């Protein structure tokens, strides 16, 4: 999912059919990990002509008569004796999590519909899990066997563009389709002044809370802690809230929410890292305190954010931050009897903000069928098709046309749509994987007490500079 936060597979040869699948998505994506037990509180030259006394026209007529039958066969084989037979192009669609339950249930329908409308194109879906997706894609691109259409985190567009792995979509995807995408999201999928990918999935996040235990959702950091403590006092064995610190992309998302809410940022407008600013340091201190001092969250080192929804559904935590996919993971409607819930805007620090994550569709630079790939991308971005995609995957409506559909007019969806106004874009370092690893190490070292928040983030800033992954580098 886009993040599922993302909030979110690949392969290929041609002339036949190809693949697909999303995610997490947003960026995207559902929890694949099992819920851990909690302890409560991608040189013959032609021969010389022979002289002849025959006039040129006669020679030509003789040739024509001698070659007549053969020529007829050749013309028929070339399709010149009648309507040309359509050639079927097979494209491969790589999407992380292609084998998960949601993809298995929903992708076949999209592929069948597209192939029915485009009988000269076949689509083959392939993929791996989100954790292995980027490494698989990188290996496939280097080996020249990448899928035609690849579903990637928008955060990876810059790196894949520098690798020469993907090609500009301008001219392959029609202007009308590109024009439907919100400008800020389109810009996030650009590199070197060119549109290198098309945003496909988008997510905001909100606070899920138990309505039977929490009458009014917390609106600030202080209220978040106070509410969590109050719930725990009345419900032994239940944690008031949940954070994550396991090595996973969602740790970056959760931590940066607090950084930006506190007035900080990962990189400034010039591309210089600001991850060790006073605001970021204070945010990390608060993140650490939730576990070490306030003790209102289960051990974050044992969890990634996609494992929170099952814990919420099981009554082990009373509040959590997730995208709309949290509902899909739980498999429970808000008004269920076991763990009734509602969603609210994220609690504010100095500012009210929440990370916005997107996943995009890119076309391989070595695709043998780029036009067919472009048609498939454009199909998935048709409003009525995309609305179904978003609804089935628990993603915030990407297109303005979707927001007007009845599906997204419920209080649940309106909260996530409203969070668009206060969102900040996920950082786009020149290489995401090392950036993620650096932040994971920083947060974990602080939680383990191996370094203070200041020391941990000073070290992180230095590593980011040395790795030359700042956007300005």
**Which tens digit of pLDDT belongs to each residue from 431-470?**
999 999 999 999 999 999 999 999 999 999 999 999 999 9
What secondary structure does DSSP assign to 264-283, as a single string?
--SB-TTS-B-TTSHHHHHH
DSSP 353: -
85 pLDDT more than 70: no
Which segment, 76-90, 183-197, 337-351, is predicted with the most confidence on average?
A: 337-351
Scan for tokens 């040189």, then name that residue. 43
Instruction: Report pLDDT for 28.
Output: 38
> What's the predicted TM-score (pTM) here?
0.76
Percent pLDDT > 70 in the chain is 82
Write down all domains in the chain, each with its CATH number in brackets.
89-203+357-421 (3.40.190.10), 206-355+426-466 (3.40.190.10)
pLDDT classification of 234: cutoffs 50, 70, 90: very high
pLDDT in tens, 258-268: 999 999 999 99
Torsional sign, CA 285, 205, 8, 176: negative
CA dist 313 and 330 (Å) reads 6
Are the C-beta atoms of residues 88 and 15 closer than 8 Å to each other?
A: yes
Instruction: Report pLDDT for 53.
Output: 40
Instruction: Report pLDDT for 39.
Output: 53
Distance of CA 185 to the CA centre of its chain: 12
Beta strands 341-344 and 423-425, pairing class: unpaired
Q: How far is CA 69 from CA 72, 73, 85, in A?
A: 5, 6, 22
pLDDT in tens, 287-320: 999 999 999 999 999 999 999 999 999 999 999 9
Mean pLDDT for the chain overall: 85
Are the C-beta atoms of residues 310 and 318 closer than 8 Å to each other?
A: no
Instruction: Report pLDDT for 38.
Output: 61
What secondary structure does DSSP assign to 113-163, as a single string?
HHHHH-TTEEEEEE---HHHHHHHHHHHHHHT---SEEEEEGGGHHHHHHT
Are the C-beta atoms of residues 98 and 21 closer than 8 Å to each other?
A: yes
Higher-confidence position of 163 and 459: 459
Q: Report the half-sphere exposure of 226 (CA within 13 A, side-chain side).
A: 9
Instruction: Report pLDDT for 76.
Output: 44
CA dist 198 and 204 (Å) reads 18
pLDDT classification of 473: cutoffs 50, 70, 90: low
pLDDT in tens, 331-351: 999 999 999 999 999 999 999
Distance of CA 223 to the CA centre of its chain: 32
Which residues have C-beta within 8 Å of that of residue 173, sequence separation ≥ 6?
Answer: 198, 374, 377, 378, 381
Give me the mean pLDDT over the 129-142 stretch: 88
pLDDT classification of 41: cutoffs 50, 70, 90: low
pLDDT classification of 383: cutoffs 50, 70, 90: very high
CB burial class (10 A; 0-12, 13-18, 19+) of residue 245? buried
Instruction: Report pLDDT for 102.
Output: 84
Give me the mean pLDDT over the 95-99 stretch: 91
Instruction: Name 400's bridge partners.
Output: none
- Quick one: which H or E segment has residue 257? helix 249-261
- Number of CB atoms found within 10 A of residue 382's CB: 16
Nearest residue to 443 (alpha-carbon basis) of 309, 286, 224: 286
pLDDT in tens, 48-66: 334 434 444 444 443 444 4
Give me the mean pLDDT over the 359-377 stretch: 97
Q: How many residues does the chain have?
A: 473
Token pair, residue 388, equals 């179904």
Nearest residue to 163 (alpha-carbon basis) of 195, 184, 139, 187: 139
Give me the mean pLDDT over the 365-389 stretch: 96
pLDDT in tens, 384-416: 999 999 988 888 999 989 988 998 999 999 999
Q: How far is CA 250 from CA 150, 243, 368, in A?
A: 21, 10, 35
Looking at 246-382, list the stretches that DSSP marks H as alpha helix, in order from N- to C-terminal side.
249-261, 278-292, 308-313, 325-330, 370-380
Beta strands in 423-473 (DSSP E): 423-425
Nearest residue to 156 (alpha-carbon basis) of 142, 177, 139, 135: 135
Instruction: Report pLDDT for 48.
Output: 38
CA dist 64 and 234 (Å) reads 99
């Amino acid at each position: 999912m886009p993040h599922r936060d993302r909030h979110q597979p690949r392969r290929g040869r041609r002339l036949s059919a190809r693949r697909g699948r999303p995610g997490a998505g947003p960026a995207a994506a559902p929890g694949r990990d099992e819920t851990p037990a909690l302890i409560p509180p991608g040189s013959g030259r032609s021969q010389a002509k022979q002289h002849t006394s025959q006039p040129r026209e006669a020679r030509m007529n003789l040739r024509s008569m001698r070659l007549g039958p053969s020529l007829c066969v050749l013309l028929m084989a070339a399709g010149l004796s009648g309507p040309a037979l359509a050639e079927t192009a097979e494209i491969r669609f790589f999407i992380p999590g292609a084998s998960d339950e949601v993809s298995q249930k929903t992708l076949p329908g999209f592929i069948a519909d597209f192939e029915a409308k485009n009988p000269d194109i076949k689509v083959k879906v392939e993929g791996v899990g989100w954790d292995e997706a980027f490494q698989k894609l990188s290996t496939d691109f280097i080996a020249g066997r990448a899928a035609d259409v690849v579903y990637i985190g928008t955060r990876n567009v810059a790196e894949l563009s520098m690798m020469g792995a993907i090609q500009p979509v301008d001219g392959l995807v029609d202007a009308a389709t590109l024009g439907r995408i919100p400008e800020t999201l389109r810009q996030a999928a650009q590199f070197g002044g060119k549109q290198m990918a098309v945003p496909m999935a988008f997510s905001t996040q909100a606070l899920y809370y138990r309505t039977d235990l929490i009458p009014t959702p917390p609106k600030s950091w202080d209220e978040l802690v106070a509410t969590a403590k109050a719930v725990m006092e009345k419900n032994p064995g239940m944690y008031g809230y949940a954070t994550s610190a396991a090595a996973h992309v969602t740790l970056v998302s959760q931590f940066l929410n607090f950084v930006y809410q506190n007035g900080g940022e990962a990189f400034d407008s010039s591309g210089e890292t600001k991850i060790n600013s006073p605001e970021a340091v204070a945010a990390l201190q608060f993140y650490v305190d939730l576990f070490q001092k306030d003790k209102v969250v289960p051990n974050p080192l044992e969890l990634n954010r996609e494992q929170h929804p099952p814990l919420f559904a099981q009554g082990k935590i009373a509040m959590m931050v997730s995208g709309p996919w949290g509902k899909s993971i739980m498999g429970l409607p808000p008004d269920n009897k076991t763990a009734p819930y509602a969603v609210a805007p994220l609690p504010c620090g100095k500012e009210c903000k929440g990370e916005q994550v997107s996943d995009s569709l890119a076309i391989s630079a070595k695709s043998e069928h780029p036009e067919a790939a472009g048609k498939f991308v454009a199909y998935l971005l048709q409003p009525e098709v995309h609305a179904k995609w978003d609804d089935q995957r628990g993603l915030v409506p990407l297109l303005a046309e979707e927001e007007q559909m009845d599906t997204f007019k419920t209080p649940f969806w309106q909260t996530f749509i409203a969070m668009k106004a206060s969102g900040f874009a996920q950082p786009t370092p020149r290489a995401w994987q090392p950036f993620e690893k650096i932040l994971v190490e920083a947060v974990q070292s602080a939680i383990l007490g191996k370094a203070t928040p200041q020391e941990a983030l000073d070290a992180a800033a230095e590593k980011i500079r040395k790795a030359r992954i700042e956007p300005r580098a």
